[in-house]
Structure formats: structure tokens, C-alpha cells
Amino acid sequence: MHRAVVLGTGSCLPRRVLTNDDLEQMVDTSDEWITSRTGIHTRRIAGDGEQNYQLASQAAEKALVSAKVSAEEIDLVAVATLTPHMMMPSCACFVQTEIGAKNAFAFDLNAACSGFLYGLDMAEKYIATKPDMKILLIGSETLSARINWQDRNTCILFGDGAGACVLTGAMETTRTTRTTEAKQRGIVASNLYSDGSLWKLLYMDSPASRNPDLLLEERNGCFMQMTGRDVFKHAVRAMEKAALDLLDLQQISIQDVSLIIPHQANIRILNKLTERLGADQEKVFINVDKYGNTSAASIPIALDEANRQNRLKQGDLVLLCSFGGGFTWGSMLIRW
Ligand code: UT7
């Protein structure tokens, strides 16, 4: 059996740091409120030369170096994003040109904050049938362009950035027993879910939309809209259930997991999730304090930081969990 293995990771954050003190000058909020309710201290905001595809391309180039793979060897460039540079062409096509991945086909996928997890699942399915394929998967967002900077409910939460990884098929073991299979590196299993019926709790309308599903007063341009408290509850419950079901199905205990990388939305969500999973706090990777919620970029940025901090050792079990607009959510186990 071939498993999809992560060969290398990379990330790129914009230069500009926006602090809670800066936000105090912009809306009626305080560092104390933001820190205690979200755990966020700073977030990065894209500027000149830092459009979505440019952040994505820089993250991709670092992932290629880390994977020791050239751009020409890449067969597929996929970008998970809800803030593409343009509606058409895809962000992935811009990245393909920017990095010179001239032998690849390229497309975007949108599953909001779960986009990177959905992308990993898709990459695994490609690799199951074409193990030699080299896939460059990126999660990249410039959410700052789609935030109403007068809305204190949302503007304090989000940030910009990009993360990437290169995947390919693991070497097939010649005689696969249950034990060797269990120890085999790569994506072990995943579960993905969606519930479109709750979309109004978290949405972003299209620019210049004539969307008949929205009342006139709900068409505020194209900014992020969120009913935070409800999203919070759904996020905790959904990620908890997805992760526990996956562990149960794989007959893996949470104690066997070396590192948990959840979508970085809010420190209170992460703490509740940690508690409900019965996980040790030091096994949960956290960088929401530095970057806020970067949507589809949050898991790959965290994965890259964990990788570069040597928190991922070969053979370690890593658990990813995500939740986002749609609603979309899921979890995944990777043997690093
Ligand atoms: O990736 C998935 C996407 N999103 C999320 O995961 C977000 C999930 N939700 C959350 O993180 C939290 O719900 C928030 C951080 C957004 C809000 O925290 P909360 O504890 O749920 O606060 P709340 O919305 O219930 O608001 C409590 C109070 C309200 O005032 P009143 O009605 O009690 O007078 C808000 O108006 O806090 C007020 N408030 C603020 N005050 C100062 C809301 N935003 C702010 C602010 N500064 N920035």
C-alpha cells in the first residue's frame, strides 16, 4: 500500500505586524478583551509584494527546498484559499507561473478554514492511484482585504499568511504485515464533514453580489460575517467528535499521538478541545497568539513551524483537526 508522505514544508508571513494596541486605535476594543477572549496578541497584514499568490509562492519555494524537490518535478499545484487573488485564473495558476512548476496542472479549492485538510485528503487519494505524483499543496490567505475594519467582532481575529507542503507516495514495503503497516509513514486516515445548512453563522459574500439569499441590509459589500458565539460552540463539538471518532476507528489512543495541530482560531477553542480530547496541553501546537486565525493557512503554517522546531520526529503520530465556514470540518492522522 502506498501512503502520502509529507516530504517538506514551508511558510511565509507578511512583514507588517498588527498588535492589539494598534486595534485599540481603530475600534472600541482593548488588549485585555482580545487577549482574554481569543489569546491573540498580534496578526500579520499583507502589504506591497505580499498578495495571496506571492505569499503562497514564497511558502511553496521554501517547501520545495525542504523537500529537495525542484519546481519542474511537481505534477500538481493545489491552493486552498477563500481569498484568491482573482476569481479567475486560480491562485494556483499564478503560483505555478511564479515558481516555474511548468509540468504541473493547477487549481484552487475552497473549504474555508478546513481547505488545507480537505486538500491533504485529496492529495492522498491522487497518490493512492499514482504514487509517483509529487503534489505541492498550499494554504494561503489575505483575509485582511475581506475584513470590515470597523467591525470589532471580526477584525481582531483574522490575519494573513501562507503555508505549504510537498507530498508524494511512500515506498511500498515488500512484505506488509499489520505491524509494518501500522508503522508506515504517511497519511493514516481522515474524516471530513460539511453542513451547509448553517452557512449564515459564518460567511463572506461575493464582491458586487446580487445574491438573492441575502436581504439588502445583509449585503455589506463582501466582508466576513460571523455569529461568533455559535461558531465557537459548533467548532469545539465538531472537532472533538471528528477527532475522537477517527482515533476510535483506528484503535489509537490520544496518548499515542505525539502532536496535535488544530486549526488556530481562538485559544479558548483550543483549550476546550484539548480538555475534551483528554490530551496533554504540551502536545497541542499553538501559534494563534502570533498570527490570529489565518483560515486555510493556519494548519500548514503551524505544521511548518512544528517541523522547523523539530517537534515532529520520524514515526510520530500527528493529529490535525479543523473547522470553518460552510460549515466544514474534519480530522486526520499522519505518521510523520
Ligand atoms: O475559523 C472559524 C471561524 N471563527 C471562529 O472560530 C470564531 C469563534 N468565536 C469566537 O472566537 C468568539 O465567539 C469571539 C472571540 C468572536 C467572541 O467572544 P465571545 O466570548 O463569544 O463574545 P461575544 O460575541 O459573546 O460578545 C461578548 C461581548 C459583547 O458585548 P455585550 O453584548 O455583552 O455588551 C460584544 O459586543 O463582547 C463584545 N465584544 C467586544 N468587546 C470588546 C465583541 N467584540 C469585542 C471586541 N472588543 N473586539
The domain limits of the chain are: 2-171, 180-211+218-335
Could you tell which of 29, 232, 264 is best to mutate to test the pocket of ligand 1, judged by most ligand atoms within 8 Å of the CB? 232
Taking the C-alpha atoms of residue 218 and residue 314, their distance in angstroms, rounded to an integer, is 49
Can you give the C-alpha Rg of the chain in angstroms?
A: 19
**Same topology between domain 2-171 and domain 180-211+218-335:** yes
Taking the C-alpha atoms of residue 191 and residue 81, their distance in angstroms, rounded to an integer, is 20
Long-range contacts of 274-281 (CB under 8 A, 24+ apart): 276/236, 276/240, 277/240, 277/243, 277/244, 278/254, 279/254
The residue annotated as part of the active site, out of 20, 91, 165, 263, is 263
pTM recorded for the entire structure: 0.95
Query: Residue 1's pLDDT is what?
Result: 72
Nearest CA to ligand 1 atom 3: 324
State yes or no: is 113 an active-site residue: yes
Closest of 163, 263, 154 to residue 204, by C-alpha: 154
Phi, psi of 104 (to 5 degrees): -95, 155
Q: How far is the CA of 201 from the centre of ligand 1 (A)?
A: 13
CA triple 121-263-307, angle to 5 deg: 75
153 pocket-lining for ligand 1 (C-beta < 6 Å): yes
pLDDT in tens, 192-233: 999 999 999 999 988 766 666 666 666 666 899 999 999 999
Asked whether the CA dihedral 291, 292, 296, 300 is positive or negative, the reply is positive
Could you tell which of 37, 43, 239 is best to mutate to test the pocket of ligand 1, judged by most ligand atoms within 8 Å of the CB? 37
Q: For the domain with range 180-211+218-335, which CATH number is right: 3.40.430.10, 3.90.550.10, 3.40.47.10, 3.40.50.150? A: 3.40.47.10
Query: Residue 233's pLDDT is what?
Result: 97
Query: Residue 222's pLDDT is what?
Result: 83
Q: Which residues of the chain have pLDDT under 50?
A: none
What H or E segment, with its residue span, contains residue 133? none
CATH of domain 2-171: 3.40.47.10
Query: Residue 153's pLDDT is what?
Result: 96
Nearest CA to ligand 1 atom 16: 228
Query: Residue 2's pLDDT is what?
Result: 87
Crossing angle (nearest 10°) for helices 52-67 and 298-308: 30
293 pocket-lining for ligand 1 (C-beta < 6 Å): yes
Instruction: Report the nearest atom of ligand 1 relative to the CA of 226.
Output: 4
Please list the residues that pair with 319 across neighbouring strands.
260, 333
Distances (CA, A) of 18 to 23, 64, 200, 286, 292: 7, 29, 28, 19, 10
Asked whether the CA dihedral 86, 108, 161, 96 is positive or negative, the reply is negative
